[in-house]
Amino acid sequence: MLLISRDQTDINLGSKALDALAKLVDAPEQAAVRTISELGDQLSVNASTLTRLSKKLGFAGFNDFQNVFRQAIADDERYFYSRQAGRLLSAMPAGDENIGVFERLARETAANIDGFMAQLDTATLTEVASQLASARRVRVHGVRQYHAFASFLAYGLGMLRSDVALLDASQLGAAEALAQLEKGDVVVVASCAPYTRSIADVAETAAACGLEVVAITDTRASPLVGPSRHAFFIPHASSFFSNSMGAYIVFCEGLLNLVARKMGKSALSALAHREELIAGMRIEME
């Protein structure tokens, strides 16, 4: 790009084409996932200008030129969400596109559920359910998208037993939160590629403190696996522009059911007490 700008190559571009090329290079994630028409509108040039630009650069056409940007971001985790969006845009179903988006996600979620079901181990499930039911304290930690997952798990466990919370609910910092726990307490951590560094750091610190670490992640190569006593692997491949959460929520519901079954009558008592409070405070609409 710099050589072309400095007239140090045999490639001669007009001002519009040169400006378009510069903008494409500056935003490779956009160049990789958008159609030629969309890029033309974004760059205020005709699609034909992009075709001519591609050929002047030595490519057979725009598709070959665009492949350079796709390959550039293929293994770069900075462009994870752009790649996901590109898959969504390039996989629009025929027919009713609106309904088709939902149908595709439903099929993909079903496949992800099949993926984690095939990896479940009865002994591990039994031990984790027992820990979540009987540990003195349980803390759940997830940030960014997995904050929603962590909140859902903490809420569900909190319906069944006491002293369950998000790890840093007070927002005083993870170190302060871990300092309040003792050996035998359980810390559930959740993250998947692209992994959040702070979650891996919390898992390692919790394990070093003698806490029981349970990891909810995607693969055995996850940085959460090493520090954890137990790990569950939930696939998330889909056409959603971010990590698909459907299979994670299904897994969470199944795990909560196991904990409730393990706790037996005490779980029923906890749920009944909660219902009494809800009714007494008139929280729900009749």
Per-position pLDDT tens, the chain of length 286: 444 444 556 666 667 777 777 777 766 666 776 788 878 887 788 888 888 888 888 888 888 888 877 776 555 555 555 555 555 555 555 556 778 788 888 888 888 898 888 889 999 999 999 999 999 999 999 998 899 999 999 999 999 999 999 998 878 889 999 999 999 999 999 999 888 999 999 999 999 999 999 999 988 889 999 999 999 999 887 788 888 899 999 999 999 999 999 999 988 888 888 888 888 888 887 7
Q: Are residues 151 and 199 in the same domain?
A: yes
Domain residues for the domain of 204 are: 119-280
Is 175 within a domain? Answer: yes
Q: Are residues 142 and 215 in the same domain?
A: yes
Q: Are residues 135 and 183 in the same domain?
A: yes
Q: Are residues 127 and 48 in the same domain?
A: no
Q: Are residues 154 and 18 in the same domain?
A: no
Is 56 within a domain? Answer: yes
Is 106 within a domain? Answer: no
Q: Are residues 139 and 264 in the same domain?
A: yes
pTM (predicted TM-score): 0.67
Q: Domain ends where: 75, 90, 105?
A: 90
Is 101 within a domain? Answer: no
Q: What is the CATH number of the domain that holds 189?
A: 3.40.50.10490
Q: Domain ends where: 90, 108, 133?
A: 90
How many CA atoms within 13 Å lie on the side-chain side of 251?
A: 31
Is 52 within a domain? Answer: yes
When divided into structural domains, the chain yields a total of 2
Q: Are residues 217 and 266 in the same domain?
A: yes
Q: Domain ends where: 39, 71, 90?
A: 90
Q: Are residues 28 and 145 in the same domain?
A: no
Is 72 within a domain? Answer: yes
